[in-house]
Structure 1
């Protein structure tokens, strides 16, 4: 046996009261406001730094060649303008009289917003300089109400925990959030509560977010696991299995087992279409009370009650599809990780497989509609999510994940 510490997340839907729902929305808004405040400070400092670099390049270092002048100007400008971090922003935010409401919410909620701004900025820098793999990350954008998902993260002192189970169906949170001390769960956290009582798990943080089907909490716990040094007798008996993923069949195993593709998106397509049409037909309200179909750019409008309900209906349908898809993948990947000693999978370039066939104006693509349908089916099957789940589950259950070469003819 090998003792390891792992981070495991427990996601459970919440069943808040009306007062708790209002408190959750208030804390999510505080996190969003703090994110925008911190990002605004970073953007302002970055613009001042860029202007200083441009000025120094042509004045102080104009006698050097272009590359040397730019490098020297950047080094000099960094002495005068630094991008503020979350620690600096927290102190400045505490002194800002326009945000006096910060004392009405839990401090850790808006601090998490500032740290998200740090992460967004660092991701952009890493992508710009090539230190981050994957698709290029764009310049950080401000969060607007309605466009971004409502969420906030709460950390706590693990020695004096303010986030802890209250039985199996309730979760204790800070008083400003839970109002009554604890909040009811639609599911249960029996497994986590028992591990905490045995002293082999500690809650690190809790992220509360709102999706189409309501509020949910993701509890991040640090757990101590005893992982066998070798696969179990059942896994050794089953040996290795190869997994070929596809659209017609979700998975085909090398032992001739085939799992049909449930096609969650196609199954919900009628409901999604109706909900989207209802949202498209809904109205916007002008300041003078008149109703319009679609606002013009820069026009001040507010959504009508019908539009708010239609938007919530569409969000519920999309959330249900995502939940069904996740449940299917979790069941299959756990079965693979616990039943075999070696799991061989394809190393697929999903981003390349789902690239649009639209082409350009000079060279328009062909069969664009058919390729768009194939892209939807590939993304609905979630090949990358299946690979991600197998990566950590095989390490938990002492099996081994073996990715094949990207160009090996595994089918």
Structure 2
């Protein structure tokens, strides 16, 4: 898998925000998370169907060149082939609608903290209120000394956002 490399001169930072979504926004967040789970399960079914088909074809003495195309699940396949460090991984499992964590990743479209510091704009979800202001306040030294600097998260465009949704 390709690793993320920031461009020269760029600084990469991560922030975590608690969102105060209204009822319609909570429904939209749940919908996005459910769609991500459904897409994961579809891809897992697609890979397992390919594997099962190849196994069945091999029992009919079909030559290797004529077998169904192999669709690898990248980390699992590399682990099984011994190309990945660490212990062997188990087979990926389906995500249950009732047990899986409601989470999704937004990587395209608008992702930004608005200038008022109290709202976040997400693609296809619109503007959602942030539970606390996005300013960080004074930064204290570990030894308890005076503030080393004051930081504020400036409104900017974010390139990726992972949402974990916890319903109350």
Compare the two structures and name the one with the higher helix fraction: 1
- TM over 0.5, shorter chain: yes
Query: Offset at 1:144?
Result: 0.5
SS at match of 1:207: strand
How many Å separate the matches in 2 of 1:150 and 1:135? 28
Partner of 2:162: 207
Partner of 1:162: 110
Q: Is there any run of 5+ residues in structure 1 with no aligned partner, and where? A: 61-72, 84-117, 197-201, 216-311, 313-411
Query: Offset at 1:8?
Result: 2.5
Cα contact 1:49–1:77 (8 A) shared by 2 = no
Partner of 1:193: 154
How many Å separate the matches in 2 of 1:135 and 1:6? 33
How many Å separate the matches in 2 of 1:38 and 1:144? 14
RMSD after superposition? 2.4
SS at match of 1:171: strand
Partner of 1:394: none
Determine if the alignment matches structure 1 residue 49 to structure 2 residue 54.
yes
| Divergent runs of 4+, >6 A | none
Query: Offset at 1:54?
Result: 3.1
Determine if the alignment matches structure 1 residue 15 to structure 2 residue 4.
no
- Cα offsets for 1:276-327 (capped at 9, x unmatched): xxxxxxxxxxxxxxxxxxxxxxxxxxxxxxxxxxxx8xxxxxxxxxxxxxxx
Partner of 1:150: 102
- Cα offsets for 1:360-391 (capped at 9, x unmatched): xxxxxxxxxxxxxxxxxxxxxxxxxxxxxxxx
How many Å separate the matches in 2 of 1:52 and 1:192? 57
Kindly tell me: are residues 47 and 7 of structure 1, through their superposed partners in 2, closer, same or farther at Cα, counting changes over 3 Å? Answer: farther
Query: Offset at 1:76?
Result: 2.2
Higher RCO, 1 vs 2 (CA within 8 Å, ≥6 residues apart)? 2
Determine if the alignment matches structure 1 residue 174 to structure 2 residue 119.
no
Determine if the alignment matches structure 1 residue 184 to structure 2 residue 129.
yes
